[in-house]
Amino acid sequence: MRVLISGASGFLGGHVTAALQLSGHQPVALVRRPARGAEVQWDPNQPLDPAKLAGCDAVVHLAARNIAGLWTNQFKQELLDSRVRGTRTLATAVGESFRRNGQPRVFLSASGDRYYGDRGDELLTEESSAGVGFLAEVARQWEAATSPASEAGVRVVCLRIGVVLGRDGGALKPMLLPFRMGVGGRIGSGRQYMSWIALDDVTSAILFALENDGLRGPVNLVGPSPVRNDEFVRALGRQLHRPTIFPLPEFVVRNLFGEMGQELLLTSVRALPAKLQASGYRFRYHRLEDALRAALG
């Protein structure tokens, strides 16, 4: 399978590219700079010539601006635009290419588990409603931007990605330094749920979604065992053999990080991978301890 992939140079895109190659597929990078070799150049803010998708069986769209930063109004608009405009550009080209020659047949696009907003202890599946908040609205518009592809008949999967556990990136990397220094601890009350997923399961599930014609629409790309923040913190401390006795109070989070801290650190998302499990995907990592052990080498 020839797979066009955006964000191939990023943390997740790099691992997905490697997994595609190991599985015998042919990944082709979408790049903004001048293309080299088989690469395809694009500008997320400009229409993409559908002819550039000729011969591609699938498109995996993972490119988006990092959400960490100072959430000014301008920065928030850039976060939204980087997701919606790029997705709409690709979805439009994919849809037109499919109408012309029947390819690509599948379009996988990243989204986020913050689609659900702050939901406390509620169990969330793909059937659950959208939440409220900035990131929930971003995810809603992000997914809606795939409609030109789905309306053309392309199988579209929106990957609601949770907290990815990998050593060289994702959510785990910035946590390691304070914990290794022995100053880690729960955030806020510690009762907010974290929908974690091991990096190996992210890449395997994406390949599964590419090859499984029964999967379409939103798919929770999370592990089967979400945990509360205080449980996550204790598990990470055990793996690093460090104490976890320095909590980060909620008022400190709000004062230091503002809206970003509320949405990324204090929001509770207890999402379950209902569609993946119903489709027969078998997770490699069910237990947080095992996923952390693998991520930490």
pLDDT one-digit tens code per residue, 210-267: 999 999 999 999 999 999 999 999 999 999 999 999 999 999 999 999 999 999 999 9
What would the mean pLDDT of 43-53 be, rounded to a whole number?
97
Do the beta carbons of residue 186 and residue 237 sit within 8 Å? no
Residue of higher predicted confidence among 67 and 167: 67
- Write the single-letter amino acid at 215: L
Percent pLDDT > 90 in the chain is: 96
Q: Is pLDDT of 68 > 90? A: no
The CA-CA-CA angle for residues 243, 246, 251, to 5°, reads 155
Asked if 64 contacts 31 with a C-beta cutoff of 8 angstroms, the reply is no
- pLDDT per position as a tens digit, 158-179: 999 999 999 888 889 889 999 9
Min mean pLDDT across 37-46, 129-138, 168-177, 231-240 is at: 168-177
Q: Give the Cα separation of 74 and 51 in Å (integer).
A: 34
pLDDT at 122: 98
Distance CA 268, CA 257 (A): 17
pLDDT at site 133: 97
